[in-house]
Structure 1
Amino acid sequence: MTTEDAPLADLGRTVRALRRVADLSQRELARRAGVPQATIARIESGRATDPRFHTVERLVRAVGGTLTVALPVEPASSVAPTTAPTTAPTVASAAGVTCALPPVPHDDMRDTAGRRYPAHLDVWPVREPKDWPGAWWADWYNLPPPLWPLRLPPAAYERNRRHRDRRRAAEQVRRDVRVRWVEGDGRPATAWRFVAELPDGTLLGELRAHERDLHLVYGDDWDWPRELVLDGVLVAAGHRRIGIGDRLVAAMAQRMDETGIGLVRTVVEEHIAIRFLSACGFRVGPARPLAMALERPAGPAPRPSRPP
């Protein structure tokens, strides 16, 4: 295959991948590289099919990268031996252009005008109003799609990098967190404990429960089924609403199936806990215990009187 027949690198995709790794917008990269933003836009869109070599070099250097040009060399064993004891010659062939940068995950997505979305930001498809940050009306109305006040875009992204970084960190935690059953810590066999933690051992969540012996409740020899009481589910602040609590409850449900326990009970006081457990499959029972409390005014302790 000749050099003319060798596939050429997609420079536009490469520059977009470069910007994503460096976390730079077109304007920011243009300012660092000393290249007009319009030039970067033309390269990424494919309209600048043959940019100057120094332009590409400036873009790479602006993000701390190195531009390398290399030709493959055939091994010495593949070269026919010669009568003279000389070093095997270097044979150059058509070189393929490679890019070690990870591609932009949403590079194939387009907006309603056919334009690409910003490479350095995270883009996700919009299937319902809650997927669109601009849908300020989404929490106010529960309307069928034909009655939505605005037309939903095909995708959305977060301009605020602080919010975007929080989203990325949450996605990383969601991928890395592991839920495990804890045993051998001195608890009785009827006391259940699950923890959610990162690979480095950082504790992010915990679920505790205990088996309930109905023979102690009813005091007879009837073969009562085993029950479980959920004592609580805790998730560290800053890591909530990313599914850690759901995974803890799912681990408890799986162990219930393995041990033949078909019922778990719990007492809930806060509305947010009711919503969470309802989403996990819990249902409110016909009767609930009455929570009572005695609150005394907290004031300074009285000073002891001085002896006369």
Structure 2
Amino acid sequence: MTRVDHGLVTDAGPPLELPPTDLGATLRALRRAADLSQRELAARSGVPQTTVSRIECGRSAGPSFRTVERLATAAGGRIVIVPPPTAGQGPPVTPRQLRDAAGRHCPAHLDAREVREPKDWPGAWWAHVPGLSGYGSALPAVTYRLDRGHRDRDRDRARVRRECRIRRHLDPAVPATSWRFVAELPDGELVGELRAHERSDELLIGYPLPGRHHLVLDGVLVAPAYRLLGVGRRLVAALTAEMARRDVPSAYAVTDGTGTCLLHRCGFRVESRDAAVMRFDLTAGGEPPRRW
């Protein structure tokens, strides 16, 4: 939630370091710095002395912004609206030129944005399905979320897209032939992970040769709330960059569903159609099932 603090600043020095929510204490300190009594401040500001007294004693039922501004100005100060710590990193202000299909301005508190391609529109479910990119050509010019929960999730996803960093995680307790890349936020929260291991006949007998081994991809995991943000693709890009640096010529993976789409977009191709996913189940009596 965005917080707006009202700080009272004097022209004679730096801002007074006082709790922003304690208006009475702040006004009292400002009046003391200006060497004014309550009566003198009331005369300068045009605010009744009883109102000044109630504000300082905390008995005022919420003075108006105009009243506080007049008191601060009369005491030689000014009101400063301090932006939140994440200023410049939050959702952008809706441009005034964005209008809906009826020519109306989009609501200012919503994160309205232009729809330039299907993936920009939440209703374009086909945008991420291979082969359906041309489905449903009718797209709105502008889109925004009406549901607050959806807006909060969109802003959280935008924060993750902006702040997520990819790095290789090195653990002395893990063999150097095991590769692990993590996607994490500045506070250390893990949002994605990729694991792989080197494999070759030479490694099995303990005589690795440069260029003779390959990688086997164990898995690419991304937190469900942060999928379709490019985190998985960045993890695979970090893997391929490390492969080039370490002179590892190829990587293999067994995958299906969305994993297949991800790796295909990252440059992987189908190596063989002979592999099969197999399953074994015991019968009710605990005996292996017969083939016929």
TM-score normalised over the length of structure 2 = 0.59
Match of 1:293 in 2: 279
Shift of 1:100: 5.4
Matches of 2:140 and 2:97, distance apart in 1? 12
Structure 2 residue 219 is matched with structure 1 residue 207:
no
Equivalent in 181, 184, 188 of residue 171 of structure 2: 184
- Correspondence list, 1:129-278, <5 A: 129-133=118-122, 143=134, 148=137, 150=138, 152-215=139-202, 225-268=212-255, 270-278=256-264
- Correspondence list, 1:64-143, <5 A: 68=69, 105-111=93-99, 114-133=103-122, 143=134
Instruction: Verify the 8 A CA contact 1:215 1:224 in the aligned structure 2.
Output: no
Residues 247, 287 of structure 1: CA spacing in aligned structure 2 closer, same or farther, 3 A cutoff? same
Instruction: Verify the 8 A CA contact 2:126 2:132 in the aligned structure 1.
Output: yes
Instruction: Verify the 8 A CA contact 2:98 2:114 in the aligned structure 1.
Output: no
Deviation by residue 1:205-236 (Cα, 9 ceiling, x = unmatched):
21111112243689999975331111111223
Residues 287, 118 of structure 1: CA spacing in aligned structure 2 closer, same or farther, 3 A cutoff? same
Matches of 1:267 and 1:242, distance apart in 2? 23
Q: Higher strand fraction: Structure 1 or Structure 2?
A: 2
Tell me, what secondary structure is at the counterpart of 1:109? coil
Instruction: Verify the 8 A CA contact 1:107 1:116 in the aligned structure 2.
Output: no
What is the number of equivalent residue pairs in this alignment? 218
Shift of 1:249: 1.0
What percentage of aligned pairs have identical amino acids?
A: 41
TM-score normalised over the length of structure 1 = 0.56
Residues 168, 231 of structure 1: CA spacing in aligned structure 2 closer, same or farther, 3 A cutoff? same
Matches of 1:251 and 1:174, distance apart in 2? 16
Tell me, what secondary structure is at the counterpart of 2:140? coil
Match of 2:55 in 1: none
Structure 2 residue 269 is matched with structure 1 residue 283:
yes
Deviation by residue 1:86-138 (Cα, 9 ceiling, x = unmatched):
xxxx9xxxx9x986556962233321555431111111111124433456898
Residues 141, 180 of structure 1: CA spacing in aligned structure 2 closer, same or farther, 3 A cutoff? closer
Matches of 1:216 and 1:179, distance apart in 2? 28
Tell me, what secondary structure is at the counterpart of 1:208? strand
Residues 218, 205 of structure 1: CA spacing in aligned structure 2 closer, same or farther, 3 A cutoff? same
Shift of 1:157: 0.6
Matches of 2:63 and 2:120, distance apart in 1? 34
Instruction: Verify the 8 A CA contact 2:191 2:223 in the aligned structure 1.
Output: yes
RMSD: 4.3
Instruction: Verify the 8 A CA contact 1:21 1:120 in the aligned structure 2.
Output: no
Residues 63, 187 of structure 1: CA spacing in aligned structure 2 closer, same or farther, 3 A cutoff? farther
Matches of 2:156 and 2:265, distance apart in 1? 24
Matches of 2:67 and 2:157, distance apart in 1? 32
Gaps of 5+ in 2: 4-61, 287-292
AA matched with 1:292 = M
